[in-house]
Amino acid sequence: MFAELQACLDKLSVPGVMDDLEVAIAKRSKKRAYQKRRRARVKEEVAESHSKRQQLDIAINTWLEDMQESVEKAKREESLKVEADLVLLEVTRKKNEAKRQLSLLSSLLKLRQLRAKTWASRGQAVSFESGERFTKVIERLRKLWESELRECAVEEQGLRVMLEGVVEERNQKQVRRERQALAQWEQVLFGAKKRQQDQVDHFYTAAESDVESFVAIRKSWDKFLAAPGASMASAPPIGWVLPVYPSSEQWKAQLSGGP
């Protein structure tokens, strides 16, 4: 045991061995530190990836729920409209039937009165009690059908108001979709409104505070000037000149009819 220890001490006493050992230890320490940092970085990347995946899953689930709710709402609205149309059709039928019955009662009353006059002109006896009973029955039936007609009118008005509300809401949704699509087109063509306005303001006000900007703007204008009748000269185009090929993914999505 002592001999082995002495042999180790002898090796360490050799010039340069300690320096090499310190260098090796330093390299080993650096390697361990690097591996530790790498493990920590990998762990952090895994955690970040997991967090992003969870956020993406939440966003997808939220989008699916919103889409499902939108579809279900559209189905409910369509079902409600169909049901309201059917009820309105039935109410209209009842209303027309009530009008027909009232017209029939009025015709029967006139016919009864005409027959009574005819019998009286012929000298035939006309029962007053019979006429009274007939008139009372006609009047009672007329009141019943008039009440039915009023109820149908109120119900019809309510259904029409409800249907108009459904149609108005649908039109508003269509307008919102069109405005959103227009806003997307404007953003693709001209960029964000604030950035676009800032660029326009800077372009028109830069020459007021900077001579070099003034000269540069004037030069950019003058290089497009040409004498009248010059070869290859043409007037500025009327309207916007759209790019032939998509210059961005957003522009490509708009050209392909995407969202």
SS3 letters across the chain: CHHHHHHHHHHHCCCCHHHHHHHHHHHHHHHHHHHHHHHHHHHHHHHHHHHHHHHHHHHHHHHHHHHHHHHHHHHHHHHHHHHHHHHHHHHHHHHHHHHHHHHHHHHHHHHHHHHHHHHHHCCCCCCHHHHHHHHHHHHHHHHHHHHHHHHHHHHHHHHHHHHHHHHHHHHHHHHHHHHHHHHHHHHHHHCCHHHHHHHHHHHHHHHHHCHHHHHHHHHHHHCCCCCCCCCCCCCCCCCCCCCCCCCCHHHHHHHCCCC
pLDDT band at 259 (very low <50, low <70, confident <90, very high): very low
Domain boundaries defined on the chain: 191-223
Query: Over the stretch 132-177, which tens digit does the pLDDT of each residue have?
Result: 787 788 788 888 888 888 888 888 787 777 777 777 777 777 778 7
Residue 12 scores a pLDDT above 60:
no
Whether the full predicted model's pTM is greater than 0.95, yes or no, is no
